[in-house]
Structure 1
Amino acid sequence: MSKKNQHVVPYQGQWAVRGEGNERRTYITDTQSEAIDLARSIAENQRSELFIHNRHGEIRERNSYGNDPFPPKG
């Protein structure tokens, strides 16, 4: 399994989880909270990073689930 950072992004009035560099969305949910939970699970499993975007597509939070001893804080 390749290690890909996960992004929670707005998508057609809903929220999507998308692996970095992927065109296809892994999940589409009704709420951002649900998308964050799904993306966090993937990022923890892959030991990658999670980027949470706001409704305008700008990154509002970032969490690291890798081996970095000094991960970025939200």
Structure 2
Amino acid sequence: MARKPNVTTYFENGVWKNKVDGNSRASNVSATKAQAEQTGRKMAVDRSAEHVIKNRDGRIGEKNSYGKDPHPPKG
């Protein structure tokens, strides 16, 4: 089964952006990180993908997966 492309929320050129892996441009821009996270989360849920949220410095701050877990917890 093919892996779904991640949705990444990141800061660039004074604005927060969301981009789907493999796309050359951001899907949308937001003035605040909270707005971008909310939009990015919806994009990831709609795609059953992972949402990667980066800090202002570009380092990964958080990751959330949406969709079917191929390795659910046992017990």
TM-score, structure 1 normalization: 0.85
Moved over 3 A (4+): none
**Root mean square deviation of aligned Cα:** 1.1
Q: For 1:32-43, what aligned pairs fall within 5 Å after superposition? A: 32-43=33-44
Structure 1 residue 57, shift from structure 2 partner: 0.8
Q: What is the total number of aligned residue pairs between the two structures? A: 68
Tell me the distance in 2 between the aligned counterparts of 1:11 and 1:29: 11
**Any stretches of 5+ residues in structure 2 without a counterpart?**
none
**Any stretches of 5+ residues in structure 1 without a counterpart?**
none
Larger Rg: 2
- Residues 30-53 of structure 1: CA distance to partner in whole angstroms, max 9, x if unpaired? 001101100100111110000000
TM-score, structure 2 normalization: 0.84
Q: 1:8: which partner in 2? A: 9
Q: 1:30: which partner in 2? A: 31
Percent identical among aligned pairs is 35
